[in-house]
A and B are shown apart, each in its own frame.
Chain A
């Protein structure tokens, strides 16, 4: 069933077995998994089926770094940020789950093995091929991938979803569901706790016209993304000082996002055809991307984070920061967007104008590809000082807006530098190309971090742990100190690897749905 908040009477009391807060990929995945179970499920979504600016403005907040806007890097409508995503799917690596002595605060309380079955089930949500993320499992035709030194480099692989927009693709299934109700334009403004502080007693819904309702459920799932989930926990603190699940002051800390620096470029010293698996996007009639990154051994030996580099943008001449900025500007303008750091890009284009003009001319006239730009996507180390807090400013619903205060550190810079260096070593050893590194990556300061691309991967702010002193949710994604409040979001990631987060979000959502089903079967949904 699908309804708008305006269709129900103001002041209504709604009831459900499971209340899912947020209709993005995580919330929709859980609702789908609970379809046909006999459980009464209510999914409440702030937005509607289409984008609307008023609702989107509720996401406004302050990013102290200023390099991306909080209301432009996530979307508040049914389908969530899948409304604009690129469709890149990849699982985390085995070592991403491990505690690594050289990465402070690393380690998940679960292993890759624990989540593997759920990755496989999540795969079909994205309208992509079966679960296979090893290059050995693919046929690249007459040009195989390079045989890499496993002490240095390993292949990275993404399967590219159409990209699946969860809203339009799954709305009909949920509309037809007999046990799932979707309520649009319903904003949760407060999560209430019962007097003993351990059990959620209800949530308050409001719309932008001042209408209110209340939901009471046996279990609640916050599925609002890495920032909004935190905001709700911090806001709902009347009965729980400092916010729900925040007795240790960890809610909002360890914010992570994947920095995407321009890493330089590669010029071929062999036939471009030899690089085909790395720049062609279609194999076996499927869209995939093959990249490179430091092997687990290299990460350990060099004391670096996980990272990937992939080809982007063919070079008809040679890499240049100016051309990279020109491409970023042109891609943004194609989508009628104005990049947040447009001024810096324009300055870079003007500084490298001769290279930009030469490259543009050769693109138009020559057509012979001589190489590719390299874009990196690096893990960031979980840092408690990278943090979301509430401001005194309030949105149209009276909720405090958020402030994101964070930095990208030296370990991230060294990781990208070492990764590019390893690529240079391997391309040189194989006799296939030479690599130019973005020289900002060689500077021992933070200038490199001032020209990064971001793709809205907000993670880490309610991290998973096996002890309440080190995390906000337990291994079942239940908020510590509560009996019936769960989180389905990238906010539970203790570390983030290099992989785009959506596949992992969906896998964890399926895992949580299974857990809820088991609890329901034994009548323990409200575990108190």
Chain B
């Protein structure tokens, strides 16, 4: 378990915002570099444009709030659904799913509060998956 001090977490929080902004850019770019069979970690690197630290920090924070969700397999199921993280997965479909999950969460009001930030639950789970995929 990684413990973040307030100052460290503030830095991570700042970078999260950059991540939230860059996510649509990654989504647009993804079809040009389709998913390969290097698993969840590799896929997440692509989603987050190789800048994973801040998502990991937020993910840890979420897992501290929701310890019952600290399962990589379970989170992958929530984030990816029926789409497996293997070769040949239609990347565009996965990205569409991520966007749709996020949209549905906001419509339903299923938000998660992390250090005051009000995020879609699926967003937080994506970060939690990153946290479990990139242990310190």
Answer yes or no: A386 CB below 8 A from chain B CBs.
no
Interface mask (B11-25 → A, CB under 8 Å = 1, otherwise 0): 001100100110010
Q: Which residues of B contact A442 (CB under 8 A)?
A: 113, 116
Per-position 1/0 for A402-440, Cβ under 8 A of B: 000000000000000000111011101101001111110
Q: Does the CB pair B14–A428 fall under 8 Å?
A: no
Q: Which residues of A contact B20 (CB under 8 A)?
A: 267, 269, 434
In chain B, positions 97-136 with a C-beta closer than 8 Å to chain A are 102-103, 105-107, 109, 111, 113, 115-120
Contact B117 A434, beta carbon cutoff 8 Å: yes
**Residue pair B120, A354 in contact (C-beta under 8 Å):** no
Interface membership of B89, Cβ < 8 A: no
A178 contacts the other chain (Cβ, under 8 Å)?
no
Q: A428-B118, A438-B116, A439-B116 are in contact. List 11 more A-B contacts (CB 8 A).
A: A267-B17, A318-B17, A355-B10, A421-B109, A422-B109, A425-B109, A428-B102, A434-B17, A434-B20, A435-B117, A437-B113
Known interface pairs A434-B118, A434-B119. Does A429 touch B14 (Cβ–Cβ under 8 Å)?
A: no
CB of A387 closer than 8 Å to a CB of B: no
Q: Tell me, rounded to whole Å, the shortest Cβ–Cβ distance linking A342 to chain B.
A: 25
Report Cα–Cα, A435/B111, bound state, in Å.
Answer: 11
A437-B118 in contact (CB<8A): yes
The count of residues in chain A whose C-beta lies closer than 8 Å to any C-beta of chain B is: 26
Q: Within 8 Å CB of B32, what residues of A?
A: none
Distance to closest chain B CB from A282 (angstroms): 28
CB distance from B4 to the nearest CB of A (A): 15
Query: A421 contacts which of B10, B111, B117 (Cβ < 8 Å)?
Result: B111
Give complex CA distance A442, B122 in Å. Answer: 22
Q: CB-defined interface of A431-454 with B at 8 Å, one 1/0 digit per residue?
A: 100111111001000000000000
Classify chain B: how many residues form its interface, as a range.
Answer: 20 to 34
A264-B116, A355-B10, A436-B118 are contacts. A428–B17 as well, Cβ < 8 Å? no
User: Do A429 and B106 touch across chains, with their CB atoms under 8 A apart?
Assistant: yes
Complex interface residues of chain A between 298 and 336 (CB less than 8 A to chain B): 317-319
The 0/1 profile, CB within 8 Å of B marked 1, for residues 26-54 of chain A is: 00000000000000000000000000000
A434 neighbours in B (Cβ, 8 Å): 17, 20, 117-119
Of B105, B117, B120, which is within 8 A of A436 by CB?
B117
Q: Which A residues lie within 8 Å of B111 (CB)?
A: 421, 424-425, 428
Q: Return chain A residues, CB-CB under 8 Å to B21.
A: 269
Q: Which residue of B lies closest to A437 (CB)?
A: B116
B7 at the interface (CB under 8 A from A): yes
Chain A: minimal CB distance from B96 (Å):
14
Cα of A317 to Cα of B105 in the assembled complex, Å: 26
Chain A residues within 8 Å of B, Cβ to Cβ: 149, 264, 267, 269, 317-319, 354-355, 370, 420-422, 424-426, 428-429, 431, 434-439, 442
A152 nearest CB neighbor, chain B only: B109
Q: Give chain B residues whose Cβ lies under 8 Å from the Cβ of A437.
A: 113, 116, 118
The residue that A428 contacts in the complex, of B13, B106, B116, with Cβ under 8 A, is B106
Q: Do A425 and B14 form a contact, CB below 8 Å, given A354-B7, A437-B116, A439-B116? A: no
CA distance A457 to B107 in the complex (A): 35
Nearest A residue to B16 via CB reads A434
* B17 and A421 form a contact (CB under 8 A): no
The residue on A at minimum CB distance from B117 is A436
Those 9 A-B pairs whose CB atoms lie nearest each other, nearest first: A428-B106, A424-B118, A429-B106, A436-B116, A439-B116, A436-B117, A435-B118, A425-B106, A425-B109
Of the listed residues B20, B102, B109, B115, the one surrounded by the most CB atoms of chain A closer than 10 A to its CB is: B109
**Complex Cα distance A436/B58, Å?**
14
What's the least CB distance linking B47 to chain A, in Å?
Answer: 15
For the complex formed, measure the closest distance between the CB of A109 and the CB atoms of chain B, giving whole angstroms.
36
Residues B116 and A425 in contact, CB atoms below 8 Å apart: no
Q: Which residues of A contact B107 (CB under 8 A)?
A: 149, 425, 429
For this complex, 22 residue pairs linking A to B, each with C-beta atoms less than 8 Å apart, are: A149-B107, A267-B17, A269-B21, A317-B14, A318-B13, A318-B14, A354-B7, A354-B10, A421-B118, A422-B109, A424-B111, A425-B118, A426-B106, A428-B118, A428-B120, A429-B107, A434-B117, A435-B118, A436-B115, A436-B117, A436-B118, A438-B116
